[in-house]
Amino acid sequence: MATHIHILGICGTFMGGLAQLAQAQGYRVTGSDSHVYPPMSTQLKRAGIQVYEGYDCEQLDPAPDLVVVGNALSRGNPAVEAVLDRGIPYVSGPQWLGEQLLADKWVLAVSGTHGKTTTTSILAWLLDYAGMKPGFLVGGVPENFGLSARLGESDFFVIEADEYDTAFFDKRSKFVHYRPRTVVLGNLEFDHGDIFPDLAAIERQFHHLVRCVPGNGQVIRPTLSEAFDRVLALGVWTPVVTFDSVSDESDWQFKTLTPAGESFQLRSPSGDRCTVSWGMLGAHNVANACAAAAAAHHVGVPLAVIGEGLATFSGVKRRLELRGKPNGVAVYDDFAHHPTAIACTLETLSLRGDEGRLIAVIELRSNSMRAGFHAHELPDAIRHADQVFWYQSPGLHDTLERILDASTTASEMVADIHVLTEKVATAATPGDAVVIMSNGGFSGFHELLLTRLAASTPPTGRG
């Protein structure tokens, strides 16, 4: 058995979680990455895992027993080339996880274009609240646990199942390595335009996932989804359970009782109901809760316990996370990096009941966003905001110009992070909400803005 594992790309949420799982199994774990930022860097430091900045070849001296290669690494990377030249054994993260950890587990996998992290976090918490002590690996940090991964103490393992490709040497989606017994198909839209030519190509990968689910498992899907209709038409050998808010034919149903979704009702396939009040916002999160409830119920969690667990769910870092209210300005951090997710976040905050304005600060960071695949959808996605600031990182000018030209929302692009901080701080007044949307570290903008707002002298009014 390999005793020293070195992980290339260790600070990604998936690979950082894998590092902690490997360490908990007794491996010596090291890793490397570039542009390291919290919360994963903080978790790894707390765990005592050594992380090298960059990918120089010296980090492979002496050679580790095994190198786990993240999917952000490609040919030409110095560490990758050294691994290949020296004949060091290597594997992808999903393959290592599937073979070394998940092979003897009841895997509950949560897939879909949006909401995977939140739904996975809810599901892990529901099982934990029920006393089942599951292992989990989440692409974020659930507040109830304070960490993104753990081995657990039972046969159950909850995992966020991503459709992105596995590694430079394995172009299948990550989730085919997990072989779940319970799988949530949350939603499906076109994304990852850098690796998928169209939606049909993504649907084919989801079909590969469904093919791996055993006949005594369960596939959980939204009732109304043409994309999943096409996926399952390719073949399904497992009982299918549906969830939705609008169809009486759905096995699981949810109904929001307040505009922003702070209170809702669930109905199980047997007709039993429970009413939940929780600290989350948004109808999309109620749908996530319903999908998680169905998966938890499949492994034996009673509806009453599900309701109690949902009421105590504390959310996920960077998923509509309230970072503070300096001088009366509510600052939220959100991971949204797809037009639908951006629209859901902004619509949810527009229903928060405050009288102030809603200001969005957006960094287009994913490959699909930067390449402009979704530029035509973004002007409509921001319609619930009163004002939008776009961060113009290098290479984005043309894409942002297209978005601003088509937008009816007051918008401005800013290329300097410190100028951006000053503009947002000056624009925001007490009672406003600022939501920062990026799937990266955003050059430390969150802390810069919180510090600047805290130092501001509150204005007496807008004049």
Q: Say yes or no: 185 and 265 in one domain.
A: yes
Q: Say yes or no: 116 and 256 in one domain.
A: yes
Closest of 86, 99, 93 to residue 8, by C-alpha: 93
What's the Cα-to-Cα distance from 275 to each of 124, 224, 251, rounded to whole Å? 20, 23, 17
DSSP string covering 96-145, please?
HHHHHTSTTSEEEEEESSS-HHHHHHHHHHHHHHTT---EEE-SS-BTTT
Return the CATH number at 79: 3.40.50.720
Mean pLDDT of the 267-280 span: 94
2 vs 203, more confident? 203
Q: Say yes or no: 342 and 244 in one domain.
A: no
Q: What is the pTM of this model?
A: 0.81
End position of a domain, from candidates 246, 277, 311: 311
The residues, ordered by sequence, that sit 6+ positions from 177 with a Cβ below 8 Å of its Cβ are 92, 94, 95, 97, 98, 166
Instruction: Tell me the per-residue pLDDT of 383-416, one tens digit each, with 9 for 90 and over.
Output: 889 999 989 887 777 778 888 888 888 888 899 9
pLDDT at residue 255 tops 90:
yes
End position of a domain, from candidates 93, 124, 144: 93
Instruction: Tell me the per-residue pLDDT of 328-368, one tens digit each, with 9 for 90 and over.
Output: 999 999 877 678 788 888 888 888 766 789 999 988 876 66
* CA separation for the pair 36, 20 (Å, rounded): 16
Mean pLDDT of the 305-329 span: 89
Tell me phi and psi for residue 263, to 5 degrees.
Answer: -135, 140
- From the CB of residue 325, how many other CB atoms can be counted at a distance below 10 Å? 14
Q: Say yes or no: 232 and 147 in one domain.
A: yes
Mean pLDDT of the 281-285 span: 86
Instruction: Tell me the per-residue pLDDT of 125-182, one tens digit each, with 9 for 90 and over.
Output: 999 999 999 999 998 888 899 888 999 999 999 999 988 889 999 999 899 999 999 9
Q: Say yes or no: 267 and 292 in one domain.
A: yes
End position of a domain, from candidates 23, 58, 93: 93
Q: Say yes or no: 258 and 118 in one domain.
A: yes
- pLDDT bin (cut points 50, 70, 90) of residue 1 is low
* CA separation for the pair 231, 344 (Å, rounded): 25
Q: Say yes or no: 161 and 141 in one domain.
A: yes
- pLDDT bin (cut points 50, 70, 90) of residue 459 is low
- pLDDT bin (cut points 50, 70, 90) of residue 284 is confident
260 vs 99, more confident? 99
To the nearest whole number, what is the mean pLDDT of the chain? 89
Establish if 174 belongs to a structural domain: yes
Q: Say yes or no: 328 and 260 in one domain.
A: no
Burial of 331 (0-12, 13-18, 19+ CB in 10 A): buried
The residues, ordered by sequence, that sit 6+ positions from 197 with a Cβ below 8 Å of its Cβ are none
Q: Say yes or no: 436 and 295 in one domain.
A: no
Establish if 68 belongs to a structural domain: yes
Establish if 222 belongs to a structural domain: yes
- Of the listed ranges 80-84, 246-250, 264-268, 305-309, the least confidently predicted one is 246-250
Mean pLDDT of the 375-388 span: 86
What's the structural domain count of the chain?
Answer: 3
* CA separation for the pair 83, 154 (Å, rounded): 35
Tokens of 139: 């692409």
Q: Say yes or no: 257 and 342 in one domain.
A: no
Look at the alpha carbons of 67, 72, 73, 75 in this order and tell me if their dihedral is positive or negative: positive
* CA separation for the pair 420, 361 (Å, rounded): 9
- Provide the domain limits for residue 36: 4-93
Q: How many residues does the chain have?
A: 463
- Of the listed ranges 4-8, 63-67, 74-78, 378-382, the least confidently predicted one is 378-382
* CA separation for the pair 7, 30 (Å, rounded): 6
Establish if 463 belongs to a structural domain: no
Tokens of 51: 């992380």
pLDDT at residue 309 tops 90:
yes
Establish if 160 belongs to a structural domain: yes
Establish if 275 belongs to a structural domain: yes
Tell me phi and psi for residue 347, to 5 degrees.
Answer: -65, -40
439 vs 326, more confident? 326
* CA separation for the pair 216, 185 (Å, rounded): 17
Asked if residue 261 lies in contact with residue 233, where contact means CB atoms within 8 angstroms, the answer is no
Establish if 243 belongs to a structural domain: yes
Per-residue model confidence (pLDDT) at position 193 = 67
379 vs 318, more confident? 379
Closest of 343, 260, 273 to residue 302, by C-alpha: 273
Per-residue model confidence (pLDDT) at position 462 = 46
Per-residue model confidence (pLDDT) at position 22 = 95
Establish if 459 belongs to a structural domain: no
- pLDDT bin (cut points 50, 70, 90) of residue 430 is very high
Torsion of CA 105, 103, 110, 183, to 10 degrees: -80
Burial of 398 (0-12, 13-18, 19+ CB in 10 A): exposed
SS (H, E, C) 155-197: CEEEEECCCCEEECCEEEEHHHHCCCCEEEECCCCCCCCCCCC
Asked if residue 118 lies in contact with residue 279, where contact means CB atoms within 8 angstroms, the answer is no
- Of the listed ranges 36-50, 162-176, 319-333, 418-432, the least confidently predicted one is 36-50
Mean pLDDT of the 22-44 span: 86
Asked if residue 202 lies in contact with residue 189, where contact means CB atoms within 8 angstroms, the answer is no
Asked if residue 242 lies in contact with residue 250, where contact means CB atoms within 8 angstroms, the answer is yes
Q: Say yes or no: 437 and 384 in one domain.
A: yes
Return the CATH number at 241: 3.40.1190.10
- pLDDT bin (cut points 50, 70, 90) of residue 463 is very low
Closest of 80, 85, 73 to residue 59, by C-alpha: 80
Tokens 């992808």 -> residue: 92
Q: Say yes or no: 176 and 284 in one domain.
A: yes
Return the CATH number at 338: 3.90.190.20
